[in-house]
Amino acid sequence: MPRPLTDPQRFDAILLAFRRPHILQTSHWAALKAPVWSGQHIVWGDDHAPLAAASILTRRLSSLPVRIQYVPKGPIVQPSLDAWRQTLADLEAHARRSRALFIKIDPDVDVDSDLGRALAALLRERGWVFSADQIQFRNTMLSDLTAGEEALLAGMKQKTRYNIRLAGRRGVIVTPSDDFEAFYHLYALTSARDGFLIRPRDYYLRVMTHLQGHGLGQLLLAWVEDKPVAGLFLFRFGPTAWYFYGASSNEGRRHMPTYLLQWEAMRWAMDQGCTTYDWWGAPNELDESDPMWGVYRFKQGFGGKFVRWIGAWDYAPRPGLYRAYTRAMPRVLDFMRRRANPRG
């Protein structure tokens, strides 16, 4: 039977009993999402040999009198279909008891694995719906850090190795930093240049300050002639480091700072004892028309392996209301965006 835990440190310690727990399932991430989301931590089985664990976030929508629930990059479940069957049944019961409109999960399970195919079939059989709202990247690239530095370099594309060395020859220096303001300035420049939306400054400063302060993250900046020209922020938990945020200025790009920056990030992760470097994001389809194709090619140059996760699935105790919500919500969000930016 599942049991709630009110001790956040104990919950995080239990997560570390799993092979590859996700940082978005930790109590730290739930704390960062408050007060908009309220968190609840649940564990199945013994603390020392848990069957499953889930950090469930609940939010009441201001525009509608309903609650929605989300298990970001979870639940974390032992690789057994029976374990998944029990966990799903209990999450369904939780959604019904709490009168949630729906509960969303998006665990890191490889959809092309035997377990992934069986789990997708089980979800459909139990009435879960593949979500139109894929909050996190469905796909990613992974690098196996246990190979060691020499093997990792040998596995990179020749141009990537060349650019790493070129950056060093041209005087690029990469250092750990706590200058989150400098990074956000670079991030805003990158957003304007590449045309993607970012959150307000205070959100990123809060996330980075909290995680780095608890040893769960690290900012790295690349410098050219005493000026920061690129940066990235890593999340870290258990055996995995995730490359979440990256930024660069237009100045200094000819020095290839992002190549040396990524290599030093991988080396930092190895020094922390991580065995996997998660590049956090890859195209939905491996096709040049995909908007993430250029990002994919960059990550592929470092030897990253493309992995397709099972994606986000929703369970709705009241399917009719859920269908109405999924039809109405895109129009509500579009209306809110147009009000915020009336000129389009």
| Pair 184, 204: CB distance under 8 Å | yes
Do 201 and 56 belong together in one domain?
no
Max Cα-Cα span within the chain: 62
Total domains present in the chain? 2
Do 130 and 234 belong together in one domain?
no
pTM of the entire predicted model: 0.93
Other beta carbons within 10 Å of 330: 11
Do 237 and 116 belong together in one domain?
no
| Pair 119, 84: CB distance under 8 Å | yes
Do 194 and 314 belong together in one domain?
no
pLDDT in tens, the chain (344 residues): 899 999 999 999 999 999 999 999 999 999 999 999 999 999 999 988 999 999 999 999 876 678 999 999 999 999 999 999 999 999 999 999 999 999 999 999 999 999 999 999 999 999 999 999 999 999 999 999 999 999 999 999 999 999 999 999 999 999 999 999 999 999 999 999 988 889 999 999 999 999 999 999 999 999 999 999 999 999 999 999 999 999 999 888 899 999 999 999 999 999 999 999 999 999 988 999 998 999 999 999 999 999 999 999 999 999 999 999 888 766 654 544 444 343 33
Do 203 and 150 belong together in one domain?
yes
Parent domain of 84 = 2-136+310-340
Extended beta strands in 152-297, E state: 173-177, 217-224, 227-237, 240-248, 276-278
Do 107 and 72 belong together in one domain?
yes
Nearest to 67 by CA among 30, 25, 103: 103
d(CA 118, CA 30): 29
What residue type is 69 in one-letter code? Q
CA angle 21, 1, 66 (to 5 degrees): 75
Stated as kind and residue range, the H or E segment containing 148 is none
Q: Which CATH number goes with the domain that contains 317?
A: 3.40.630.30
Do 279 and 198 belong together in one domain?
yes
Q: Residues 41-55: pLDDT tens digits?
A: 999 999 889 999 999
Do 180 and 91 belong together in one domain?
no
Q: Residues 155-182: pLDDT tens digits?
A: 999 999 999 999 999 999 999 999 999 9
